Amino acid sequence: MLSQRRGPARGLIRLLFGFEGRINRGRFWLVATICAGLCLAAIGLAMMTGSSSVAFGVWLVAIVLCVVCAVAAGIKRLHDRNKSPWWLLLFYGGPLALPFAAPLLGDSAPVLQYVSA
């Protein structure tokens, strides 16, 4: 019964890529630290390679893995807080939408004057 075996590798894979269950703050920050380390390692590996296409491929794979890990950890953290996973749209989509919403504000936002200067 291979599916019933438990081990540290299986637990880590479930922690990083599983979308079910709950995780506390400590495990959430553990996932964030692992993702940051993965991205830094990918950047270092990309800088050591001589080919820009290989560097871009390594970087792209690392970014996709980090996004999947972040979404999985966010969903499990929201489950722990008894919130719907749909809140991730606000958490991740809100900051991504701000640069597109800034031109719509025009001159009515005085904060943007200081940012553009």
The pair phi, psi for residue 49, each rounded to 5°, is -75, 150
Q: What is the pLDDT of residues 36-66, one digit of tens each?
A: 998 898 888 888 887 788 888 888 888 899 9
Residues 70 and 112 in one domain: no
Residues 71 and 96 in one domain: no
Residues 81 and 103 in one domain: no
Q: What is the pLDDT of residues 6-40, one digit of tens each?
A: 677 777 788 888 888 899 899 999 999 999 998 89
pTM above 0.85, yes or no: no
Answer yes or no: is pLDDT of 5 > 80.
no
- Band (pLDDT 50/70/90 cuts) for residue 1 is very low
Residues 92 and 80 in one domain: no
- What's the domain range around 109? 87-117
Residues 103 and 78 in one domain: no
Residues 105 and 70 in one domain: no
Q: What was the pLDDT predicted at 15?
A: 82
Residues 7 and 42 in one domain: yes
CA dihedral 68, 70, 72, 75 (to 10 degrees): -140
- Alpha-carbon gap, residue 9 to 2, rounded angstroms: 13
Residues 75 and 103 in one domain: no
Total structural domains within the chain? 2
